[in-house]
C-alpha cells in the first residue's frame, strides 16, 4: 500500500513537470499566440471568460475567475505582447552559437 502511495506521488510530480514543460515550450506559446489572434473580445459581450493564472510551482494566482464581457482591448493586446516578449526572452537565452557551430574542436 505504501508503494502505491509513493508511485501516485511520483506520478503527480511527473504530470506537473510535463505540464510546466508544455507551458514553456516555444511551439506551444507560438500556437497559443496565433490562436489568440483569432479571438475577438466583442464576441464575449454578454458572456464571460474564465481565467486561471498559475506559477511554475503550481501556486494559483487567479483560480477560475470569471471576467464578464471578456478582456478589455488593452488587456488583450498586453497579454499578447507579454506572450511574445516571453518567447523572445527564451530565444535570447539559448546559446545560438553552440547550435550553429557544431564543428568538432578535436579535429583542429
Based on its alpha-carbon atoms, the radius of gyration of the chain, rounded to whole angstroms, reads 20
Question: How many Å separate Cα 21 from the centre of its chain?
Answer: 8
CB 61 within 8 A of CB 55: yes
Secondary structure of residue 54 in the 3-state scheme: strand
Q: What's the whole-model pTM score?
A: 0.67
List, for residues 34-77, the tens digit of each pLDDT value: 998 888 888 888 999 999 999 988 899 999 999 999 889 899 99
List, for residues 79-107, the tens digit of each pLDDT value: 999 999 988 888 877 766 666 776 555 44
Tell me, what DSSP letter sits at residue 94?
S
Amino acid at each position: 500500500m505504501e508503494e502505491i502511495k509513493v508511485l501516485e506521488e511520483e506520478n503527480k510530480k511527473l504530470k506537473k513537470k510535463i505540464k510546466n514543460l508544455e507551458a514553456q515550450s516555444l511551439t506551444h506559446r507560438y500556437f497559443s499566440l496565433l490562436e489568440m489572434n483569432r479571438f475577438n473580445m466583442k464576441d464575449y459581450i454578454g458572456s464571460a471568460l474564465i481565467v486561471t493564472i498559475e506559477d511554475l510551482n503550481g501556486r494559483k494566482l487567479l483560480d477560475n475567475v470569471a471576467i464578464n464581457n471578456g478582456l478589455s482591448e488593452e488587456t488583450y493586446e498586453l497579454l499578447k505582447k507579454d506572450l511574445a516578449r516571453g518567447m523572445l526572452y527564451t530565444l535570447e537565452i539559448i546559446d545560438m552559437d553552440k547550435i550553429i557551430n557544431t564543428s568538432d574542436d578535436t579535429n583542429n
